[in-house]
Amino acid sequence: MQRDTLVFDLIKQELERQRRGIELIASENFTSLQVMQAMGNVMTNKYAEGYPGRRYYGGCEIVDQTEQLAIDRLKEIFNVEYANVQPHSGAQANAALMLAILQPGDAILGLDLSMGGHLTHGSAVNFSGKLYQPHFYGVRKDDGLVDYDMLEEKARTVKPKLIICGASAYSRDWDYARIRKVADEVGAFVMADIAHPAGLIAKGLLSSPFEHCHFVTSTTHKTLRGPRGGVIMMKKDWENPFGLKDVKGNLRLMSNLIDMAVFPGTQGGPLEHVIAAKAIAFGEILTDEFLVYQQQVQKNAQAMAKAFTSRDYQIISGGTDNHLMLIDLRNKNISGKKAEQVLGHADITANKNMVPYDDKSAFVTSGVRFGVAAITTRGMMESDMEFVVNAIDTTLMNADNESKLKDIKKQVNEFMSQFVLYPEMN
Ligand code: DSN
């Protein structure tokens, strides 16, 4: 077979783009080389429907070991009794979990997408909003914090089967205990989607949801810095408190119901090469080096927030506890869409984002979201946040000045050349 130089050339161009730019998309990161190498290996050839020790195909004795290693390491990281490492993504993890515990038409309660929530938490354009009956809570207008009074009131009114906490654009920690209390009162399950702050939770830098939430889902590629994928966990293998049955009408442990909802419920063959990469990433997370990384993530986010505030940028909720921040650009007279575009011209990658109570559509938005997980992996420290924020500010204030933008791009590229990325690759 002839080597496909067209595609490999595009991969090379993507490597160069990642090397020269400032990556501020809050959901992105740079995996280690060994995590990436594990994703391109012979395990991609293997069918392994089922679970370690109980597969529908022969020849699974090796992939059984990598998958079991991934499960065991994930359980150790979060000190949990149950883990499923097969979901292909965070959205797949949430779909499987909901399939396991809900019936079509059941009420669910999640954070509104326009207030920082996620598509899979009940959005009308997503399976979660189409199959189930979605209801939402929001954040308070005055301080941008989750409105727990509203959450409780909604829970008592709509009596959801599932309350979802977790967000894509919320910079503060969560009061999981308070959510569990109202869930118990109305007879609901609680699921925490920790896709964004999982790395900080793994190292004890944010509150743990595991004591209070029946289920926890996550992606593995954001602050966890693993391959693109998802996971589902439970602190305890809940003995099915609501008497949920499988398709044959048998009462089962929650772990059985979730395993069945992942496969055969929503997925086919697991991506065993990606699961091998998850196992490697989970091994990295267990090290002290990863604690130092997460501590730096938190320090960098706080330094970045301070630098923005000193330039009169309005951070929703006034700051950050985790790795990200959401900025309302209305006092800067530029939309999120335009900000994303011009930052792109300066090789600074970020995404437009609705802010709470936004008067602009999701395609335009009044806000922009920044995260520091990726630049911290590149090696940046608190002192580097001044350069980054200054570059952003100068870009946004010169949005229509092409020569100035070229100038900033040059400075950005020079600045980034000191933070070497994948030196082994060419
Ligand atoms: N799309 C991800 C994010 O950017 O936050 C969430 O799935």
pLDDT tens per residue across span 144-194: 999 999 999 999 999 999 999 999 999 999 999 999 999 999 999 999 999
- What is the average per-residue pLDDT within 274-292? 98
- What is the average per-residue pLDDT within 21-47? 98
pLDDT in tens, 312-327: 999 999 999 999 999 9
Domain that residue 169 falls in = 34-285
In the chain, % of residues over pLDDT 90: 96
**Candidate from 23, 24, 27 with most ligand 1 atoms within 8 A of CB, to mutate:** 27
* Residue 181 near residue 236 (C-beta atoms within 8 A): no
First-to-last CA distance in the chain? 22
pLDDT score of 242 more than 80 = no
| Residue ranges of E strands in 112-156 | 133-137
Of the pLDDT bands very low, low, confident and very high (cuts 50, 70, 90), residue 128 is very high
Cα dihedral value 274, 278, 280, 286, nearest 10: 180
Domain end (from 285, 315, 335): 285
Max Cα separation, the chain?
Answer: 69
Distance 93 CA to ligand 1 centre (A): 14
Confidence at residue 336, expressed as pLDDT on a 0 to 100 scale: 98
Catalytic residue among 228, 330, 360, 404: 228
pLDDT in tens, 321-374: 999 999 999 999 999 999 999 999 999 999 999 999 999 999 999 999 999 999
| Same domain flag for 267 and 352 | no
How many independent structural domains does the chain possess?
2
pLDDT score of 240 more than 80 = no
- What is the average per-residue pLDDT within 300-314? 98
Confidence at residue 251, expressed as pLDDT on a 0 to 100 scale: 85
- What is the average per-residue pLDDT within 410-421? 98
Minimum mean pLDDT range among 238-252, 254-268, 326-340: 238-252
Distance 403 CA to ligand 1 centre (A): 33
Distance 26 CA to ligand 1 centre (A): 8
219 is a catalytic site residue: yes
Distance 27 CA to ligand 1 centre (A): 6
Residues framing ligand 1 (Cβ under 6 A): 27, 90, 118, 168
Give the span between the Cα atoms of 288 and 423, in whole angstroms. Answer: 23
- What is the average per-residue pLDDT within 91-118? 97
Catalytic residue among 219, 220, 320, 377: 219
228 is a catalytic site residue: yes
Distance 108 CA to ligand 1 centre (A): 20
| Average pLDDT along the chain | 97
Domain end (from 255, 285, 315): 285
Residue identifier of the C-alpha nearest atom 4 of ligand 1: 27
Pairing of strands 107-111, 215-219: unpaired
Give the span between the Cα atoms of 124 and 325, in whole angstroms. Answer: 25
| Same domain flag for 380 and 260 | no
| Same domain flag for 240 and 265 | yes
Catalytic residue among 152, 193, 272, 340: 193
81 is a catalytic site residue: no
| Same domain flag for 265 and 322 | no
> Residue 5 domain-assigned?
no
Phi/psi at 7 (nearest 5 deg)? Answer: -70, -45
- What is the average per-residue pLDDT within 83-100? 98
- The reply to whether omega before 160 is within 30° of 0 (cis) is no
| Same domain flag for 83 and 100 | yes
In the chain, % of residues over pLDDT 70: 100
pLDDT score of 238 more than 80 = no
Of the pLDDT bands very low, low, confident and very high (cuts 50, 70, 90), residue 239 is low
Phi/psi at 78 (nearest 5 deg)? Answer: -105, 5
| Same domain flag for 122 and 254 | yes
Domain end (from 251, 285, 319): 285
| Same domain flag for 151 and 256 | yes
pLDDT score of 241 more than 80 = no
**Which residue is it, tokens 């933070």?**
419
Confidence at residue 409, expressed as pLDDT on a 0 to 100 scale: 98
Query: Whose CA is closest to 114, among 369, 371, 365?
Result: 365
